[in-house]
Amino acid sequence: MKSKILKQTILYLLLFALSGVHYLQAQVKPGVFYAVTGNGIKDSSWLFGTYHLINDSYLDELPAVMNAFEKSKQVVVEVIIDSSELKSANTKALLQNKELSALLDTAFVDSLDNELKATTGQGIEQFQTLKPMTVMLTLSLIYLMKDNQAILKKYTGIPLDASFVNKSKLAGKEVTALETINQQMDLLFNTISDEEQAAMLKLFLRNREQGIELGNDLLKIYFENDIGKIYHIYQKSIEITGDMDFLIKKRNDNWLQTLPALFKKHSNFVAVGALHLAGPDGLVAQLKKNGFSVTAQNLQ
């Protein structure tokens, strides 16, 4: 059971948070798809914000996105799953020399035990080796998939991010990963202490209903192609689960050490979680500050 939950959590994170589209006929509003030009680059590059649980038959509805992908010489994704790294990556989601219940007060242990039984069919004893963040993300995934089966089952195939990697390899395109699995898992599970994660888990469970609603809203809003609304949901989620900027801003800052040089080399198609494009610390705003022209594009 623990192994299955851990694999689901890692898949959610690596393939994570954040991704009938409403198209605009006039000026394009800021959404999840952009052209990157200017600042000395010769060929246009593109940014596309994904939602990691949506499968790639959705791309059949996005001809403009696929046209940009086909034009690009190189594809950039968050991470490429390397099976040789999975074992070491998995251990980062596990507690070392302690149990989950030792991080929690008795009353909360009982509440969490009841919620885990109701949601997964297994009590806290089956989760004792998992870090609080792992438990929180596992519950988030289960809530989301339970409430959105229809829309998630509508699209078939494999997750968008993995699909771009596979399509690139078939087309002979170079693929660059912005981080390794171990780097991503370190950011997620080792940036804050186990005790801070436990406090976050308490806040998450205390605001369970609101969190579920926000998760459902984020999935629906992704299909509206409105980055402003996506960022608004993210800000509201911070209020009920705690600050997780280390998963968004810190990674964006790291990626911006790499992306400008890639853009100046040749045309790139960059596919990352949609939340990484949003807000003042998002890739769109930061690339503009660095002198690039970043222009919203229609998906169709």
Task: Give the model confidence (pLDDT) of 20-74 as tens digits.
Answer: 333 333 457 899 999 999 999 999 999 999 999 999 999 999 999 999 999 999 9
Peptide bond into 18 cis (omega under 30): yes
* Adjacency order of strands within the sheet including 268-273: 174-177, 74-77, 268-273, 45-50, 33-37, 293-296
Q: 0.95 exceeded by the pTM?
A: no
Query: Could you read off the pLDDT tens digit of each residue along the chain, which spans 300 residues?
Result: 544 545 455 444 444 433 333 333 345 789 999 999 999 999 999 999 999 999 999 999 999 999 999 999 999 999 998 888 888 889 999 999 999 999 999 999 999 999 999 999 999 999 999 999 999 999 999 999 999 999 999 999 999 999 999 999 999 999 999 999 999 999 999 999 999 999 999 999 999 999 999 999 999 999 999 999 999 999 998 888 877 788 899 999 999 999 999 999 999 999 999 999 999 999 999 999 999 999 999 998
161's CB contacts (< 8 A; 6+ apart) are 15, 50, 52, 77, 78, 271
What is the model's pLDDT at position 21? 32
Distance from chain centroid for Cα 221? 15
Cα–Cα distance, 140 to 124 (Å, whole number)? 16
Measured CA distances, 264 to 32, 123, 278, 298 (Å): 22, 53, 23, 24
Structure tokens at 13: 């994170």
Start-to-end C-alpha separation, the chain: 42
Residue pointed to by tokens 């002979």: 172
